């Protein structure tokens, strides 16, 4: 099984690749650029990207990028809408250069425009991105949300509606366990009973899982991750997910609130100890 974590690329992409195996990770996620802003993004270092790409093949690693949090593909604000599209187009280029198979982007917030409007707006954004996309082998991965504010993508029908117009190679899904739990999608008693795991139209698009415990209770509608086994999903819930044979070929990425990256080694050991 591929189990990894989110790693910083502050020292370069190749450095992040080297950091993964000592943590017990055979997969990792990274921010494509500054997660909290669009401005002052460093230009892509293609030499570093190629070095990291070669190292990933040598070390048998896979990786996904994660877009900045400010991207909102469902926003009613036209300037932010266009900037978000531009940023995602650029992120696909970055991911391709680094040999990473996907770019994760959160479902958007349509504010007071309503959920149906937000779904259509997000589809239009994705169409605009794909029309400009020049990359090959990189999939946009839509991430389900916890349901804070006006976030869409908090139910299975909404997720499937967003991605439906596109092929699974163009637009897939990244499933966050904490968001799903907080949104009421994944039950604390039986998380693997989530309907999506039994549906081909969902599973053919499921390319990544964010494996996170939850600081908040079921259906709390808040995005609050917790260390593995210390939250409301607990070891039993996390264990059920990593032992579900339907998920065995999907890379799991931890985004738990460690104080420093070295602590991910303990988190990964905990997850692997649950697998039987």
51, 53, 66, 98: which is the annotated catalytic residue?
66
Choice among 36, 131, 189, 276 that is catalytic: 36
Over residues 150-179, the pLDDT tens digits come to: 999 999 999 999 999 999 999 999 999 999
What confidence category does residue 108 fall into, taking pLDDT thresholds of 50, 70 and 90?
very high
Task: Confirm whether 232 is a catalytic residue.
Answer: no
Residue 201 among the catalytic residues: no
Lowest mean pLDDT among 17-26, 41-50, 85-94, 116-125: 41-50
Domains of the chain are 3-274 (3.20.20.150)
pLDDT at 38: 64
Please say if 253 is a catalytic residue: no
Q: What is the pLDDT of residues 113-144, one digit of tens each?
A: 999 999 999 999 999 999 999 999 999 999 99
| 136 secondary structure, DSSP code | S
Give the DSSP letter of residue 245: G
Contact by Cβ (8 Å): 23, 262: yes
> pTM (2 decimals)?
0.96
Average pLDDT score over the chain: 96
Residues 6+ away with beta carbon under 8 Å from 120: none
Contacts of 86-91 spanning 24+ positions with Cβ under 8 A: 87/33, 87/38, 88/125, 88/129, 88/140, 89/129, 89/132, 89/133, 90/32, 90/33, 91/32, 91/33, 91/65, 91/67
pLDDT at 35 exceeding the cut of 70: no
DSSP secondary structure code for residue 154 in this structure: -
Q: Is 116 a catalytic residue?
A: no
Length of the chain in terms of residues written = 276
Pair type for strands 213-214 and 225-226: antiparallel
At 50, is the pLDDT very low, low, confident or very high (cuts 50, 70, 90)?
very high
Annotated catalytic residue, options 51, 53, 98, 179:
179
Comparing CA positions, the residue from 25, 21, 3, 174 lying closest to residue 105 is 174
Indicate which residue of 91, 213, 223, 226 is catalytic: 223
The answer to whether residue 255 is catalytic is: yes
Query: Is position 276 annotated as part of the catalytic site?
Result: no
pLDDT at 28 over 80: yes
Evaluate if residue 34 carries a pLDDT over 80. Answer: no
Is residue 131 part of the annotated active site? The answer reads no
Q: How many helices (H) and strands (E) does the chain have?
A: 9, 10
pLDDT at 2 over 80: yes
pLDDT of residue 224: 98
- Give yes or no: 6 in active site: no
pLDDT score of 33: 87
Kindly name the residue from 143, 158, 213, 226 that is annotated as catalytic: 143
Q: What is the pLDDT of residue 39?
A: 59
pLDDT digits (tens, 9 = 90+) for 64-93: 999 998 999 999 999 999 999 999 999 999
Query: What average pLDDT does this structure show over 92-121?
Result: 97
Q: pLDDT: is 44 or 121 the higher one?
A: 121
The answer to whether 2 touches 26, Cβ cutoff 8 Å, is yes
Residue 21, Cα to own-chain centre: how many angstroms? 20
Mean pLDDT of 247-255: 98
State the pLDDT confidence band at 238, using cuts at 50, 70 and 90.
very high
186-204 confidence digits (pLDDT tens): 998 999 999 999 999 999 9
Q: Within 10 A of 202 (CB to CB), how many other CB atoms are there? A: 18
Q: What is the predicted pLDDT for the residue at 207?
A: 98
Quote the radius of gyration of the chain (alpha carbons, Å): 17
Determine how β-strand 225-226 pairs with β-strand 206-211. unpaired
Is residue 164 annotated as a catalytic residue, yes or no? no
Catalytic residue of the set 48, 176, 213, 267? 176
């Amino acid at each position: 099984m591929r189990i990894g974590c989110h790693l910083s690329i502050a020292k370069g992409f190749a450095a992040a690749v080297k950091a993964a195996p000592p943590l017990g990770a055979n997969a990792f996620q990274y921010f494509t650029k500054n997660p909290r802003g669009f401005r002052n993004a460093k230009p892509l270092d293609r030499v570093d990207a190629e070095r990291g790409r070669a190292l990933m093949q040598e070390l048998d690693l896979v990786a996904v990028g994660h877009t900045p949090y400010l991207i909102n593909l469902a926003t009613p604000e036209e300037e932010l809408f266009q900037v978000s599209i531009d940023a995602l187009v650029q992120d696909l280029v970055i991911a391709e250069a680094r040999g990473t198979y996907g770019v994760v982007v959160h479902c958007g917030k349509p504010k007071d425009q309503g959920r149906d409007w937000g779904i259509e707006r997000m589809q239009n954004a994705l169409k605009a991105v794909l029309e400009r996309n020049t990359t090959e082998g990189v999939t946009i991965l839509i991430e389900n949300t916890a349901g804070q504010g006006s976030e869409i993508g908090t139910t299975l029908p909404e997720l499937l509606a967003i991605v439906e117009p596109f092929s699974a190679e163009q637009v897939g899904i990244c499933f966050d366990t904490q968001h799903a739990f907080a949104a009421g999608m994944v039950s604390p008693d039986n998380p693997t009973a989530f309907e999506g795991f039994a549906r081909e139209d969902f599973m053919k698009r499921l390319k990544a899982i964010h494996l996170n415990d939850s600081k908040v209770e079921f259906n709390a509608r808040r995005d609050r991750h917790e260390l593995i086994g210390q939250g409301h999903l607990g070891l039993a819930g996390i264990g059920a997910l990593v032992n579900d044979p339907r998920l065995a070929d999907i890379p799991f990425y931890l985004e738990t609130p460690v104080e420093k990256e070295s602590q991910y080694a303990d988190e990964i050991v905990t997850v692997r100890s649950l697998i039987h």
